[in-house]
Every structure is written in C-alpha cells, then in structure tokens.
Copies of this chain bind each other. A is one copy, B any other.
Amino acid sequence: MKDPKGTNLTWHTGEVDLVARRRAHGHRGATLWFTGLSGSGKSTIAHRVERRLIERGAFAYVLDGDNVRHGLNRDLGFSPADRVENIRRVGEVAKLFTDAGALALTAFISPYRADRAAVRERFDAGAFVEVYIDTPLEVCESRDPKGLYRKARAGEIADFTGVSAPYEPPEAPEIRVRTAEHDVDACAAQILGWLDARGYLDGDEGETER
C-alpha cells in the first residue's frame, strides 16, 4: 500500500492506555519502594518478591545499586547533591516502568524523607508503595554482609547511614516488614499478600485503579 506523502500517518502517541496495559499484563503497574538500613534485607527481599511475581507471570524488575550505579548513574558520586540526584533518577526510571505497566521494585537505602516524598509526588495515587524494611540497627550490624559497618565503626567510611549519618524512617509506609522476626519467604509473602488484597495483581480495574 502506497502512501507517498505519508498522509496516513497519524501523529498520536501513547496508543496503549493504562487500562489496556493492565488487562494485557494481568496486573497494574506500580513501584514498590524499599527503604531501610544497609544490611536490612532490602535487596534480598525485593529479589524474592520479584521471583515470585515472575513465577506468577507478572512483569517485575528490581532496580538496585548493582544495575543502576554502574550504568545510568555512573556519572554520580556520593556527595550530598549526587545522592539526591541518584534517588531522583531511580524514581524517574521506576515511574517509567510503572507507566509501562510493570511492578518496579527499588532497593536503595534512601534515608531521607524529603527525597522519598519527592519521588512519591511524581506518582499517581496508589502507584507508589513504600516498603519499610524495619530491621533494627544492631541486627543489620550483626549481619554486616559486606563488612561495611565494621569499616564505618573504624572510621574508614564517612557518613555511613545509621552510624555517622541519619536514617529517617518512614512515618506511614504502606508496608512495614520486620526481617528480625520473619525469614525471607515470609517477608516476601507479606508483601505479595498486601498487593493481592488490594487488587494490584488483578488484570481488571478495581478500587485501586487510578
């Protein structure tokens, strides 16, 4: 079929709306924003939830330091301004995944309320789910999987969250997970149960639809 002048080209963008995406994927798009101390279990639990979601056929993806710091944010260091920009960009990428109909899981300490609030503001109601991995400092420090607390206590790492820099816990997180009391599968099940109960894993619009 010929159309030399391209007059049949329509200049619409966004041919697929959120409802159609939700129906196609069998769940809504949303971001699960994990926050908590170093060693609290954010990344471990996020990856377990991701696996369970994918086993159920959902489209899920974890954004964390491993895949963001060496790629998108490799131009950023650890100055206060760069830390803010790191979280801002992660929020924007999570928003793109959410707009795409995915369940994005972000696993960053993100210690400051203001930074988390700024990300939340970019989302529609219900599309941003704050998951507070509420693990006591002494438990995180006893795990110390990367030896970072030891180095921080020895003064080898400056501004280490929980030791020499503040962590501002969420005041009203959608989900609070206590990893000192439950194992990884139980924590993941808690999060999946929360999503299930609120219709996030349904392909049809429900009360949580924006």
Contact = CB atoms under 8 A, between A and B. Distances in A.
A72 B96 contact: yes
17 contacts: A1-B182, A4-B139, A5-B139, A6-B41, A6-B139, A9-B179, A9-B183, A13-B43, A13-B64, A20-B54, A24-B57, A25-B59, A59-B100, A61-B101, A71-B96, A97-B97, A100-B102
Chain B CB count within 10 A is highest, among A13, A48, A181, for: A13
Contact of A14 (B1, B55, B66, B180): B66
Given A93-B72, A179-B6, A180-B4, A102 B102 contact: yes
A143 B184 contact: no
Contact of A6 (B8, B13, B143): B143
A8 B183 contact: yes
Contacts of A57: 24
Copies of this chain, tallied across the complex: 2
A180 B8 CA distance: 10
Contacts of A135: 6
A59 B67 CA distance: 20
Give the one of A9, A15, A92 with max B CB within 10 A: A9
Interface of A: 1-6, 8-16, 20-21, 24-25, 41, 43-44, 47-48, 50-51, 54-55, 57, 59, 61-64, 66-68, 71-72, 75, 85, 89, 92-93, 95-97, 99-102, 122, 135, 139, 142-143, 145, 179-184, 186
Contact of A92 (B59, B71, B182): B71
Contacts of A64: 13
Nearest to A140: B6
A183 B43 CA distance: 46
A54 to B, nearest CB: 5
Nearest to A122: B71
A113 B44 CA distance: 40
A24 B181 contact: no
